[in-house]
Amino acid sequence: MALSITQINPMLLRLFCMMLIFPVFAFAQEPSIGEKMEEEFKVTAIPEKWKNESAVIIGMKEEYLFRRQVARGKVTAGVHISEYIHKRIKLQDKNAVDKYSTFFFVTMGVDGKALYKVIKSGGKEVDIDMKSAIEEEQDVPDIYKPIYYKMKVKSMKIAIPDLEPGDIIDYTVSSALDWNMKTEGINFTPFIFSLSNSYPTLYQQYRFTMANGMKVKYRSYNGAPNIKFDPKASVYGDNESYMSYFFMDRDREKSIDERWSYELRSTPSVKFRVVFLDYEPGDRTLGEATVDRSGLDIEQVYKGYAGAALYNTKTVTSLVAYTTQYLLKKKEEGILKNDADIIRECYYCLRKVFLEMYYKGPVHSELEKYFTGKKLYKKILAADKKDLQKEEKEDEVRMNAVTFATALRSSLATQGIPAELFVYCPRSLGTWRDAIFMEELDFVMKVRIKDKAYFLEAINNFDAFATPHAYLENAEGYSIRYDEADSYYKTTVPATTASANLSREEYVVNFTDAMDNIKVERTSSYLGTEKSPLIGKANLDRAYLDTDFVKYFAEPLSKLKKKDDVPVAVNTKYEYPDKEEQIKERKSLFEKELKANQEVDQYNDFELLQSGRYGDTAMLQYKERFVLKKLISKAGRNFIFEAGKLIGGQIKLEPAEMKERQTDIWIPSARTIENSITINIPSGYTVDGLQELNMNIDNNSGSFVSTAKVTDNILLITTKKIYKNNFDKKEAWPNYIAFLEPAYKLSQAKVVLKKK
């Protein structure tokens, strides 16, 4: 008798419907994850060396299972990714108890679940009732996120009861998600991380079990373990096999927080990603899953990036047409005498058109402002923001990197100057050889003339031509040429010199009549990377736009007047309605900047002398007038003046830093910091105590030189600190101590003004 739909048991009906909705895995032997708990997790005793740590990770395991989805007997483009996380942590103090007092979790997929138990110091195991978990609308903290985390999943939190120091917490989180290779690609999410965690770790394991046709791209660095094949955990089938690979690590000390350190280059770290070889539905001829330890394929890099400077849009057309018109005009006028002039002025003219479009024209939109074509790159590096984030300046807008690359290449091509696209691996991630994912790469434009090469980042308001960026220092990569097909070559961005990155502050100091404060006139000059954090603030009034718009004005070409062309504004004036407010705001920002280092009684005046936006080596320069307090003490009839404080905040190494350095030293760039302090000695006084102000320390890593002399009742103090390198081996750390400590000492030095 046939069953009508109403006669079927509701449970059976639901199961039947689920079978229609969800693909069925029709293999005899199913691979699984999360079933085995290693002996290492059962440890309860903590090694003596870690008894004083806040917490110790006893065991940490992450397993991933990649299965191809099958529908009606045929494999599809879908991949079912299962994730299993198991952590066991001993909490050894109140800080750790407070930190783990709340457990956050997300579970994805129908089988997703979280289990939690507390193992009391006596050995009793207490299961936490996960039903009391509360839905959390806010994002879960990163430490609790599964790596295949997706937005819009339900986040949960639970307050862990009866938790106290000495307890061991043990939790597992299982999740699963479906990945459509047709829409999401055949490369699954890449991961880069250090094996050093916030707490010391006794045991950690990462495991990948993959269906046929998959591979795990894997590299280990700085002594991290290699990945191994696990035949016992692999499952062999007639149609489909699942190969299991894993890497494990033991006895790992916690992460080190040292000044000037790149964690990925200094600590044992790994990069991995599972990829699929092909995604033709129904293809069952693919081989068993493997490990791929290869680096980047330059052919692939070329294919992936060459188009970045060939992406023509209407905006690009307008940019190029205008710039070409301008360059022709200036060449005719004889202003552009050589290729170097053309390249520089091409860059500045493009900048003008972009800024004019942005501030006055049709590309003034949020999307244009933020879409850089480097989203994924930024995402992958998000974990290392501290070192890698490109500094955003006040009032900054930046051109889309692809638009810039195409516009610059095209504009220079019209002048017969080839431009190249330089694809590089930022040095915080490693050398080119260390890179294995395309997402690790970034690009800038490179233009060569004779013996010189310019590296040009996408235009923003403030970068001068060929501005050095710390993230480009010694970056290795390939330069893609466009003057012939399939042409590229390996190259490295040279490190900038200490003199190219200059900070110079010149003080003229007068004492107030009451001898309680000092009146200061300070002229500050900055070049290169030293200029970067200040230039946006200094140009907050946008007066530079007027200069740009006038200087780089060219009559629009009539042929551009087509209906669809992006119009280019011809008005050379920029009316900034908030200019006066911004001038006040600028003064207030620089006052705040000064207050970070000094006790300011009055901040009187800020005057921009050079915008720092033009020329080959554009200097940012401004003059300030202010009154400082609390630098003068009295002693009987005499005064003690803390002159050293004027050289600004100097690094004071912490006691722990005076000991042995554990990681190599990655300085953002070589640089020079100069101070010149002219002090008018008040009449009726002489100055004493200068012997402490003369120093001269010079070694291979840096130097600090200071002088103090009195001439015609003027005390002149000069200091010069140079960081000579952007990198040193950790063994060179004593060199740094040798010049950093005297610089700090000088910043604390005082002179005595003696009543005659």
Partner 1 sequence: MTYKRFYPPFLVIACTLFCVFTGHAQADFIGKVAEWKAKFPKEEVVANVYQEVINFSLNATPAAGEAAVKATVSSETVLVPLKDFLKYDDGLFYNEEQSIENIKVLNPDKKPVVIEKLCGDYNSENVFHSDAKVCMVKFPLAEKGKPFTYTYRENYHDVKYLTSFYFYQHFPIAERVIRFNIPSWLEVDLREFNFAGNVIEKTTVKDGDTTRITFRMLNAPAYKNEPHSPNHAISYPHIICVTKAFTDKGKRTVLFENVKDLYGWYSSVCADIGNDPGLLKAKVADLTANKKTEQEKVESIFYWVQDNIRYIAFENGIMGFKPDAAQNVFKNKYGDCKGKANLLKTMLTIAGFDARLTWIGTSDLPYDYTLPSLAVDNHMICTVMLNGKRYFLDGTEEYIALNDYAQRIQGKQVLIEDGKNHIIDRIPEFLPDRNKESFTNKMSIQDNIIAGTATAEYNGESKIMVQSAFAATKNDKKSERLSSFLRSDNGNIEISNISNSDFNDRQKPLVLKYDYKASNQVTKTGNELYVIMDWEKDFGNMEMPADRKNDYEFNQKYYQATQTELIIPEGYKVDYIPEAFKKSTTSWSFEGAYVNKGKSIMYTKTIKISQPILKRADFAGWNTFISDINKFYNNQVILTK
Query: What residue has token string 């190599």?
Result: 664
User: What are φ and ψ of residue 723, in 5° steps?
Assistant: -95, 110
Q: Which amino acid is at 111?
A: D
Residue 537 Cβ, how far from partner 1 at the closest point, in Å? Answer: 17
CA distances from 439 to 24, 184, 206, 301, 386 (A): 34, 15, 22, 10, 19
Instruction: State yes or no: residue 737 binds partner 1 (CB under 8 A).
Output: no
Q: Does 127 bind partner 1 (CB under 8 A)?
A: no
682 binds partner 1 (CB under 8 A): no
Under the criterion CB under 8 A, does residue 486 sit at the interface with partner 1? Answer: no
Q: To the nearest whole angstrom, how small is the minimum distance from the Cβ of residue 118 to partner 1?
A: 11
Q: Is 201 in the site for partner 1 (CB under 8 A)?
A: no
Q: Give yes or no for residue 395 binding partner 1 (CB under 8 A).
A: no
**How many degrees, rounded to 5, is the angle at CA 442 between CA 436 and CA 443?**
130
The residue from 375, 652, 709, 729 that contacts partner 1 (CB under 8 A) is 652
Regarding 161 and contact with partner 1 (CB under 8 A), the answer is: yes
**# of chain residues touching partner 1 (CB under 8 A):** 47
Judged by CB under 8 A, does residue 121 bind partner 1? no
- Min dist CB 686 to partner 1, Å, is 10
Task: For 553, list phi and psi in degrees, rounded to 5.
Answer: -80, 135
3-state secondary structure 487-502: CEEEEECCCCCCCCCE
Question: For residue 643, which of 673, 679, 674 has the smallest C-alpha distance?
Answer: 679
Interface stretch with partner 1, choices 273-281, 334-342, 546-554, 634-642 (CB under 8 A): 634-642
**Considering the rule CB under 8 A, would residue 689 count as an interface residue with partner 1?**
yes
Helix 339-360 × helix 543-551 angle, to 10°? 120
Interface of this chain with partner 1, residues 86 to 105, rule: CB under 8 A: 92-98, 101-102
Rounded to the nearest 5°, which phi and psi values hold at 448?
-105, 140
For tokens 């402490």, name the residue: 692
- Secondary structure (DSSP) of 291-330: EE-----HHHHHHHHGGGG----HHHHHHHHHHHHHHHHH
Question: Does 182 interact with partner 1 (rule: CB under 8 A)?
Answer: no
Q: Binding partner 1 by CB under 8 A: which of 592, 634, 709, 755?
A: 634
Identify which of residues 10 and 655 has a Cβ nearer to partner 1 in the complex: 655
DSSP 237-288: -SS--EEEEEEEEEEEPPP---SS--HHHHS-EEEEEEEES---TT------
- Does the protein bind partner 1 through residue 577 (CB under 8 A)? yes
Which residue has 């006139």 as its token pair? 521
Shortest gap between Cβ of 638 and partner 1 (angstroms)?
8
If one counts every other C-beta atom within 10 angstroms of the C-beta of residue 267, the result is 22
Residue 597 touching partner 1 (CB under 8 A)? no
**Residue 574: CB minimum distance to partner 1, A:** 15
**Does the protein bind partner 1 through residue 632 (CB under 8 A)?**
yes
Note whether 515 binds partner 1 by CB under 8 A. no
What is the spatial distance between Cα 91 and Cα 58, in angstroms, rounded to a whole number?
A: 10
Q: Residue 42 or residue 630: which is nearer to partner 1 going by CB?
A: 630
For partner 1, give the closer residue by CB, 120 or 551: 120
Which CB, 92 or 525, lies closer to partner 1? 92
The phi and psi torsions of 164 (rounded to 5 degrees) equal: -150, 160
Burial track 586-609 (b if 16+ CB lie within 10 A, e otherwise) = bbebbbeebeeebebeebeebebe
SS3 (DSSP) at 118: strand
Binding part of the chain for partner 1, among 342-350, 372-380, 381-389, 742-750 by CB under 8 A, reads: 742-750
Q: How far apart, in whole angstroms, are the C-alpha atoms of residue 577 and residue 571?
A: 16
Map the footprint of partner 1 across residues 517-546, applying CB under 8 A: none
Euclidean distance between CA atoms 58 and 55, whole angstroms = 9
Pick the stretch among 17-25, 155-163, 185-193, 706-714 that binds partner 1 (CB under 8 A): 155-163
Q: Is the CB of 162 or the CB of 712 nearer to partner 1?
A: 162
Minimum distance from residue 52 beta carbon to partner 1 (Å): 5
Q: Which is nearer to partner 1, 612 or 644 (CB)?
A: 644
Please tell me whether residue 137 binds partner 1 under the rule CB under 8 A.
yes
Chosen residue from 52, 183, 338, 558 binding partner 1 by CB under 8 A: 52
Which span sits near partner 1 by CB under 8 A: 37-45, 159-167, 271-279, 393-401? 159-167
Measured from the CB of residue 648, what is the shortest distance to partner 1 in angstroms? 14
745 touching partner 1, by CB under 8 A: yes
Query: Looking at beta carbons only, is 32 or 588 nearer to partner 1?
Result: 588
Residue 615 CB, nearest approach to partner 1 (Å): 34
Our CB check for partner 1 shows the closer of 500 and 515 to be 515
Laid out side by side, the sheet with 714-723 consists of 600-611, 620-628, 518-526, 502-511, 671-680, 714-723, 702-711, 695-698
Q: Which is nearer to partner 1, 101 or 226 (CB)?
A: 101
Min separation Cβ 34 and partner 1, Å: 28
From the list 53, 384, 387, 624, which residue makes contact with partner 1 (rule: CB under 8 A)? Answer: 53
Of 40, 136, 591, 698, which lies in the binding site for partner 1, with binding defined by CB under 8 A? 136
Alpha helical stretches, state H, 307-400: 314-332, 339-360, 366-370, 375-380, 385-388
The answer to the question of residue 143 lying near partner 1 (CB under 8 A) is no
Distance linking the first and last C-alpha atoms of the chain: 122
- Residue from 285, 655, 711, 712 touching partner 1 (CB under 8 A): that is 655
Containing 17, the helix (H) or strand (E) segment is helix 10-21
Residue 133 CB, nearest approach to partner 1 (Å): 10
Candidate segments 34-42, 290-298, 669-677, 743-751, binder of partner 1 by CB under 8 A: 743-751
CB of 441 to partner 1, least distance (A): 35
Helix pair angle (401-414, 339-360), 10° resolution: 140
Contacts of 525 by beta carbon, 8 Å cutoff, 6+ apart: 502, 503, 504, 505, 506, 610, 619, 620, 621
The closest of 545, 564, 739 to 653, measured between CA atoms, is 739
Nearer to partner 1, 379 or 630 (CB): 630
Strands (E), 46-97: 55-71, 74-91
Of 138 and 683, nearer to partner 1 (C-beta) is 138
Distance CA 223, CA 23 (A): 42
Give every CB contact of residue 293 below 8 A, 6+ residues apart in sequence.
217, 218, 219
Binding status of residue 142 toward partner 1 by CB under 8 A: no
Instruction: Scan for tokens 């308001």, then name that residue.
Output: 461
Write down the least CB distance from residue 690 to partner 1, Å.
9
Q: How far is the CB of 245 from partner 1 (least distance, A)?
A: 35
Give every CB contact of residue 705 below 8 A, 6+ residues apart in sequence.
695, 696, 697, 698, 718, 719, 720
- Measured from the CB atom, is 100 or 462 closer to partner 1? 100
If the CB atoms of residues 359 and 482 are measured against partner 1, the closer one turns out to be 359
Contact between 280 and partner 1 by CB under 8 A: the answer reads no
Closest CA to 308 of 396, 374, 369: 374
Q: Is 722 in the site for partner 1 (CB under 8 A)?
A: no
Residues that bind partner 1 (CB under 8 A): 52-54, 92-98, 101-102, 134, 136-138, 157, 159, 161-164, 577-578, 599, 630, 632-636, 638, 640, 652, 655-656, 688-689, 692, 744-745, 748-752, 754
